[in-house]
Amino acid sequence: MTSPQTAPDAPPATPLDGAQELDVLVIGGGPAGSTVSTFLARRGWRVTQLEKARHPRFHIGESLLPMNMPILQRLGAFEKVAAIGVYKRGADFPKDDGQGGYNTFAFDRAYDMKFPHAFQVKRQDFDKVLFEHARENGVDSREGVKVERVEFDADHKPVVYARDVDAAPGEGEHIFRPRYLVDASGRDTFLGNKFKLKHKNEKHQSAAVFSHFRGVTRREGEDVGNISIYRHDHGWMWLIPLPNEVMSIGAVCYPDYMKTRQGDTEGFLMRTLALEPDVAERMQGAERVGDVHVTGNYAYECSRMSGPNWVLVGDAYAFVDPMFSSGVYLGMHGAERTATMVDAVLREPARERELQKALERHLNAGISEFKWFIYRFTSPTMRYMFANPRNTFQIEQAVIGMLAGDVFDTPAIRRRLRMFRFFYLLTAIGMWPRAARNWWRRRRQPREGFKGDTLQPGNP
């Protein structure tokens, strides 16, 4: 019996005269979509990429990881990104000294260090660079074209219906018949919603409120480009240095705290940031230079990644809390691996399910490494361990490797991360009264999350 997730639709209702035949159609113009498009075009396939918005468009996720850098080099876009980025040496976390001290986890100390730095970027500029780079590499990259529906014929071949967003009613329609369909539509997860695969992550519900500021105090010396991560009683905060003296600042909060929000969104953001004295001190005299945004139901995943002639990539498949800046890297790493998989399937269709399963296992393994740390990051145990790092058995260097994104292809790092989990357990036993209180508080928090995607200042 055919699974309802992959069952063909009814025969296409729209005549297919004039449908554009191609090898691969990619939905989405973000980093994952542009990466998979570029790599496939370089392998000689006819690729069309559709982005419903027009670049540049605002997006969150501005902190890249060192493991992004080799991908950018293989794409041939490294120098273009370097020209728009802020040099990122590492990530810093507060010490428990009550004096605003911090520990920098410098990437050049990572176990089996593969790249010593990354960049902080304005996503609207970064996404535009990669989108245009895809076009330069032979991709038919189109902006302002929205995919409205996807159907599958009796042979599971996709038929994609799209429309120019600025077109008059009845005009600007496009029909595509690709051999393969890649959904890189981000949080929209077009096929994930179509097949009802998307579900929120019940273990880690949260929402984020954030904006851009100018005049925020940066770290000094080599640490000037660090991302700073702070915990607060209701979640965590980020400070990301961007070009032109701008700082991206936001707070990720649990649902119970978000429900206490009263008044305008900007006021709620500023009150939340004031909960952390060091953040408040660094923001003295700062000026907000961007809209205040809220995004809810942060963490989700899809129950499967692929089916006959289609695959989800990047945020279209899963989105984890961005605590360790993993989002863009996971999207681009997955996109590069997806390009290899799709290339192989187009050449040997009979191997499709085997290749899809192997890719899903590979990506899930790396995502799980980030999840383990994220689920526990605000616990008293993890707070203590990050504030008091130890390099016993090179475990600290392995943690830095994880922070750099090296969670897929270095078995020695994974072994040391397992050792970290053991030491975490021992530390938790020693701190069990505080850990128990934290667990009980999290256990009682509401599950439904915070709804809404973008609120402007002044909205209730």
For 157-175, give the DSSP string: -EEEEEEETTSPTT-SEEE
Q: Is residue 336 part of a domain?
A: yes
The answer to whether residues 168 and 196 belong to one domain is yes
**CATH code of the domain covering residue 285:** 3.30.9.100
The answer to whether residues 164 and 283 belong to one domain is no
pLDDT at 38 over 60: yes
Average pLDDT (182-208) is: 90
The answer to whether residues 225 and 289 belong to one domain is yes
Query: What pLDDT, on the 0 to 100 scale, is given for residue 4?
Result: 39
Rounded to whole angstroms, the Cα distance separating 26 from 91 reads 33
Q: Is residue 225 part of a domain?
A: yes
The answer to whether residues 351 and 393 belong to one domain is no
Q: Is residue 457 part of a domain?
A: no
Q: Is residue 416 part of a domain?
A: yes
For β-strands 287-288 and 235-242, DSSP reports them as unpaired
Q: Is residue 48 part of a domain?
A: yes
pLDDT digit string (tens) for 345-377? 999 999 999 999 999 999 999 999 999 998 888
Q: Is residue 11 part of a domain?
A: no
Query: What pLDDT, on the 0 to 100 scale, is given for residue 16?
Result: 67
Q: How confident is the model at residue 322 (pLDDT cuts 50, 70, 90)?
A: confident
Query: What pLDDT, on the 0 to 100 scale, is given for residue 452?
Result: 40
Q: Is residue 342 part of a domain?
A: yes
pLDDT digit string (tens) for 420-449? 999 999 998 988 776 677 667 656 554 444
| Domain-terminating residue out of 295, 328, 353 | 295
- Number of domains forming the structure of the chain: 3
List the alpha helices (DSSP H) in 195-326: 255-258, 265-273, 277-282
Q: DSSP states of 395-431 as a string?
A: HHHHHHHHHTT--SS-HHHHHHHHHHHHHHHHHHHHT
The answer to whether residues 217 and 290 belong to one domain is yes
The answer to whether residues 213 and 114 belong to one domain is yes
pLDDT at 251 over 50: yes
Query: What pLDDT, on the 0 to 100 scale, is given for residue 114?
Result: 95
Lookup result for tokens 């090179």: 394
pLDDT at 167 over 70: yes
Average pLDDT (254-261) is: 85
Query: What pLDDT, on the 0 to 100 scale, is given for residue 1?
Result: 32
Query: Is the N-terminal amide bond of 277 cis, ω within 30° of 0?
Result: no
The answer to whether residues 350 and 237 belong to one domain is no
**Domain region containing 282:** 80-121+201-295
| Domain-terminating residue out of 295, 319, 346 | 295
pLDDT at 274 over 50: yes
Q: Is residue 68 part of a domain?
A: no
Average pLDDT (35-46) is: 98
The answer to whether residues 264 and 305 belong to one domain is no
296 or 117: which leads in pLDDT: 117
The answer to whether residues 149 and 185 belong to one domain is yes
**CATH code of the domain covering residue 148:** 3.50.50.60
The answer to whether residues 303 and 437 belong to one domain is no
Ramachandran assignment for 50, one of left (phi > 0), alpha (psi -120 to 50 degrees), beta (any other)? beta
The answer to whether residues 303 and 348 belong to one domain is yes
| Domain-terminating residue out of 240, 260, 295 | 295
Do 455 and 294 contact (CB within 8 A), yes or no? yes
Q: What is the mean pLDDT of the chain?
A: 90
pLDDT at 459 over 70: no
Do 169 and 67 contact (CB within 8 A), yes or no? no
**What single letter denotes the amino acid at residue 433?**
P
Q: What is the dihedral of CA 63, 65, 66, 71, to 10 degrees?
A: -100
The answer to whether residues 132 and 42 belong to one domain is yes
